[in-house]
Amino acid sequence: MYKKIINMLGNIEANVIQRTSDNAFIPKDEDNTDYQEYLEWLAEGNTPEPADEETE
Amino acid sequence: MTSKINALTGSGGVAIEGDSSGILEFQSNGTTVMTVSSDSQTALNRIINGNMMIDQRNAGSAATVSSDYTVDRWKFQEGGSGGQVVSVQQVTDAPVGFSNSFKLTNTTASSSITADAYNMFWQAVEGLNWSDLEWGTSDAKTVTISFWVKASIAGNYSFAIRSSNNDRSYVAPYTISSASTWEYKTVTIAGPTSGTFNTDNTKAIQVAFTNSMGSDYTSSGNNAWQSESKLGATGTQVALTNTINSTWQVTGVQLEAGAAASNFEYLQYGQQLALCQRYYERIVNTTAQAALADTYANTAGSPVPTINLAFKQTKRAAPTMALVGTFSTSNTTGSQIIFSGENTFSAYFLAAAIGRSFWYPNASSGWSADSEL
């Protein structure tokens, strides 16, 4: 499973996605083998968990 | 065959032999010190950490793995329905001239070598470090792999190379003549003139040592390029995993251009570590990095200070980041990486409440950056 990450400094989506099984942060780089696995997972019809919202 | 210039001891003098191979060996009393051919190059070894000296992940500790990196750049994978359990470790048992070897131990024997069984210790070579060999073209160059190997059971084992997308494979058997004895092996492989061999920052080839391979992975022909993706030699092979506490070790792995093996290319420790860090790096210190990040949080859940750190080596691609070890924290709820690039990464913790918030990595803790192939 994966989860989106928000960069709260600019409230924008970070350039990484979190793999929830081991809490690793995977960059959105198509030469990264973990990101290639994520893209395959997406292609199978899966959807990542939404990012946490900033708490005021 | 090769031509030889041999400096003799004993009665002394120099013995010279010539043939038509175009390969010249320089020898000291019959022991080859250097080999020169038309393919000879200054930087010989395309394998990184062939002497198994760098072990950033485990620092020499044993690990039970089914699919994971062990010593730097080398990955062990096992599987199939036989039920074996394998422990892997960097050890100091090594042949003369080496300090370390990689050792696997079958801590639980498999019931049988099932068709889907596989046990492989492999390294992928990046295309940028392989493109000059012109594999997949009519100019493909011959290469030679040499290595020291030792196993608790004598007999036949396998070595294999697969192409970038596994559309070609070459499997060569090698024989361990005596159990529990270091032996030196070489295999010369003619370069393939077809197949897919990437020349960029992705995988060009996979170099694999295998044992106890099931029939699903058996080559249709040894010592030849085949249009298939196989890893085990055809013919009788040692069923290593069928014996509990059986072991297999390797070190001094060198893959070089040319039809003859040269002496192992020793690099200084720092050079070898830097080569490894293009693919995996631990950003840790042996002491705690106190006061790395300390600030006043204006709101709960806000990021408390973002740090930007540079890697020691430019990565092959933006790496997967993970926390290593433990962190000391105050008034934080969790950590995040928000950027990972080839040269830098950015991280912060989130404040639990309004007020002072700080965090820092404890001793031998920090981050790992993984950009393996």
CA distance B303 to chain A (A): 7
Tell me what pLDDT residue B79 has.
Answer: 87
Whether the predicted pLDDT of B41 surpasses 80: no
**Is the CB of B341 less than 8 angstroms away from the CB of A27?**
yes
**Range 142-161 of B in CB contact (< 8 A) with A:** none
Instruction: Considering only residues B122 and B301, tell me which one the structure prediction assigns the higher pLDDT.
Output: B122
Q: What is the pLDDT of residues B79-120, one digit of tens each?
A: 888 888 999 999 999 999 999 999 999 999 998 999 999 999
Whether the predicted pLDDT of B191 surpasses 80: yes
Q: What is the pLDDT of residues B204-258, one digit of tens each?
A: 999 999 999 999 999 999 999 999 999 999 999 999 999 999 999 999 999 999 9
Q: How far apart are CA B352 and CA B302, in angstroms?
A: 8
Span B311-323, mean pLDDT? 98
Q: How far apart are CA A49 and CA B202, in angstroms?
A: 29
> What's the 3-state SS for chain B?
CCEEEEECCCCCCEEEECCCCCCEEEEECCEEEEEECCCCCCCCCCCCCCCCCCCCCCCCCCEECCEEECCCCCEEEEECCCCCEEEEEEECCCCCCCCCEEEEEEEECCCCCCCCCEEEEEEEEEHHHCHHHCCCCCCCCCEEEEEEEEECCCEEEEEEEEECCCCCEEEEEEEECCCCCCEEEEEEECCCCCCCCCCCCCEEEEEEEECCCCHHHECCCCCCEECCCCCECCCCCCCHHHCCCCEEEEEEEEEEECCCCCCCCCCCHHHHHHHHHCCEEEEECCCCCCCCEEEEECCCCCEEEEEEEECCCCCCCCCEEEEECCEEEECEEEEEEEEECCCEEEEEEEECCCEEEEEEECCCCEEEEECCC
Interface predicted TM-score (ipTM) over 0.90: yes
Tell me what pLDDT residue A56 has.
Answer: 43
The rounded percent of chain B whose pLDDT value lies above 70 is 99
Tell me what pLDDT residue B39 has.
Answer: 65
Q: What is the pLDDT of residues B126-184, one digit of tens each?
A: 999 999 999 999 999 999 999 999 999 999 999 999 999 999 999 999 999 999 999 99
**Is the CB of A25 less than 8 angstroms away from the CB of B303?**
no
Tell me what pLDDT residue A55 has.
Answer: 46
The mean of the pLDDT values for chain B is 94
Considering only CB atoms, B337 lies closest to which of A16, A28, A33, namely A16
Q: How far apart are CA A16 and CA A7, in angstroms?
A: 9
pTM for the full predicted model = 0.91
The residue behind tokens 């995996």 is: B280
Residues of chain A in contact with residue B340, where contact means CB-CB under 8 angstroms, are 15-16, 25-27, 29
CA distance B70 to chain A (A): 17
CA distance B155 to chain A (A): 36
CA distance A11 to chain B (A): 11
Tell me what pLDDT residue A5 has.
Answer: 93
Span B17-41, mean pLDDT? 82
Tell me what pLDDT residue A52 has.
Answer: 81
B319: tokens are 């790496």
Instruction: Considering only residues B25 and B248, tell me which one the structure prediction assigns the higher pLDDT.
Output: B248
**Range 66-105 of B in CB contact (< 8 A) with A:** none
Tell me what pLDDT residue B23 has.
Answer: 85
**Range 8-47 of A in CB contact (< 8 A) with B:** 8-9, 14-16, 18-19, 22-29, 31-35
CA distance A51 to chain B (A): 12
Q: What is the pLDDT of residues A8-46, one digit of tens each?
A: 877 788 999 999 999 999 999 999 999 999 999 999 999
Instruction: Check CB contact of B331 with chain A, cutoff 8 Å.
Output: no
Considering only CB atoms, A34 lies closest to which of B300, B320, B350, namely B320
Considering only CB atoms, B301 lies closest to which of A7, A16, A55, namely A55
Residues of chain A in contact with residue B373, where contact means CB-CB under 8 angstroms, are 33
Instruction: Check CB contact of B340 with chain A, cutoff 8 Å.
Output: yes
* Residue B268: band (very low, low, confident or very high) from pLDDT cuts 50, 70, 90: very high
Question: Where is average pLDDT lowest: A46-55, B209-218, B267-276?
Answer: A46-55
**What count of CB pairs under 8 Å joins A to B?**
82
Whether the predicted pLDDT of B30 surpasses 60: yes
